[in-house]
Structure 1
Amino acid sequence: MKKTNYLGLFFRSLLQGLVIIGPLGATFGIIWYLISSIDSLIPSISERFPGLVFFSVILSTAAIGFLGTKFFLGRFLVDAMDNLLEHTPGIKYIYTSLKDVMSSFVGDKKKFSNPVWVKTNQNPEIWRIGFVTQSDLTPVGLQGKIAVYLPHSYAISGWVIFTDAENLLPVEKMNAVEAMKFAVSGGVSGFHPEEGKHNS
């Protein structure tokens, strides 16, 4: 009769528990940190009504987004403020940089919506996953080149390369969100081999 290794079973169960609890704990921890940080902006209110400042900020942001895109007066005010900040010396560099970065991820002008496989080395042949950000670099003197953003794994950073179209292949059977998850997770998330087999 096989003897049960209780110590080994305990540590395996402990690791499995960490896998289950870790992401949940980290997610709720980040959410709680954001709520607490925003609440602390007005301590006098947050002490009496925890969470009120946070939800007020969220609702106000959503309201500004709605009014700034759906109503003429709202769009006029947003465009006026945008134009002012884009032409203010010093501030314009900070504002336009942050605006471009945020617009790349969210909004109607998302840049990371075209995932591709990029050949980064010929011998040995190495491919990486990336996102086309500029398909025509002629205005900056790089005719025939394409700008591709390559995200880093387990980080929010990345780098940009300029390459020829012949070094790119479209990513199939993964949308942009799945491709980003695949890249950021180091290739362990976002790709489902079983679905690829069924669809092939």
Structure 2
Amino acid sequence: MDINNVKDPLRFRWRQLLNYFFQGLIILAPITITAWAVVSLFIYIDNILPNFIHSIFPVFYKPDENGDIEKIPGVGFLVITIIIILVGYVSTSYIVGKIVDFFGHLLERTPGIKFIYTAVKDFLEAFAGEKRKFDKPVLVSVDAPDVWRIGFMTQESGEKLDLVDHVVVYVPHSYAVSGIVYIVPLEKVKLLHHVSSTEAMKFALSGGVAELTH
């Protein structure tokens, strides 16, 4: 009996099982991580309102025999979502907008608090709202003449930095939430007119694995 003939089928089966394992991992991992992130976010937001009300008015949310606050699942999430929508709607009026701007300027001038407030505000405005910054996907050459990185033009002029005919480009890192800011001459930047900002960000964060559609 040839031992090599016995080993080859076993090796083939182990290799096939390993391929099945990685194929299953590729299918299940994104689904599981996405579901975990969504459920965790839902639970976190859903617990904000009951915990807040309990800390101020303990009568409304009484703890049970285990010390847990009694609440109806989903109510806190729904109420907070409605509050956010109402605040966004009311803030569009002229008077409320001026009041929000007043308190915003006040917080921006308060020592200590201004760093937290401005950092959170700028971060959120970069992705949403009327002052979105990551809405101009570009190709930028910073390493070599024929080497390009995908990024986002965040400022169309570097004049305030004494760099005329320069632009500010943010280049995100793959598989990370960090990135690098480059100030480069305008001729080193190519606007991606046929690529959406969402596709460009997904392409950059995925290490170029995500497909671009026109």
Coarse TM-score class (shorter-chain normalised): 0.7 to 0.9
Cα RMSD for the two superposed structures: 2.2
Does residue 13 (structure 1) correspond to residue 46 (structure 2)? The answer is: no
Does residue 91 (structure 1) correspond to residue 113 (structure 2)? The answer is: yes
Per the alignment, residue 133 of structure 2 pairs with: 111
Give the Cα separation in 1 of the matches to 2:160 and 2:166. 11
Normalised to the residue count of structure 1, the TM-score between the two structures is 0.84
Per the alignment, residue 36 of structure 1 pairs with: 43
Q: CA deviation at 1:90?
A: 2.4
Q: CA deviation at 1:145?
A: 1.6
Residue identity in the other structure for 1:74: V
Asked whether the equivalents of residues 179 and 190 of structure 1 are also in contact (C-alpha less than 8 Å), the reply is no
Deviations 1:4-47, CA, capped at 9 Å, x for gaps: 95444333232222212211111110111112223344356564
Give the Cα separation in 2 of the matches to 1:33 and 1:182. 26
Tell me which moved more, 47-56 or 152-161.
47-56
Q: CA deviation at 1:172?
A: 4.3
User: Which residue of the other structure, out of 79, 100, 105, is the alignment partner of 1:56?
Assistant: 79
Q: Which runs of 5+ in 2 are unaligned?
A: 1-8, 55-60, 62-68
Give the Cα separation in 2 of the matches to 1:84 and 1:107. 21
Q: CA deviation at 1:190?
A: 4.0
Q: Which runs of 5+ in 1 are unaligned?
A: 196-200
Asked whether the equivalents of residues 146 and 164 of structure 1 are also in contact (C-alpha less than 8 Å), the reply is yes
Normalised to the residue count of structure 2, the TM-score between the two structures is 0.79
Identity %: 35
Q: How many equivalent pairs are there? A: 189
Does residue 174 (structure 1) correspond to residue 195 (structure 2)? The answer is: yes
1:137–1:92 distance in 2 versus 1, CA, 3 Å: same
SS at match of 1:58: helix
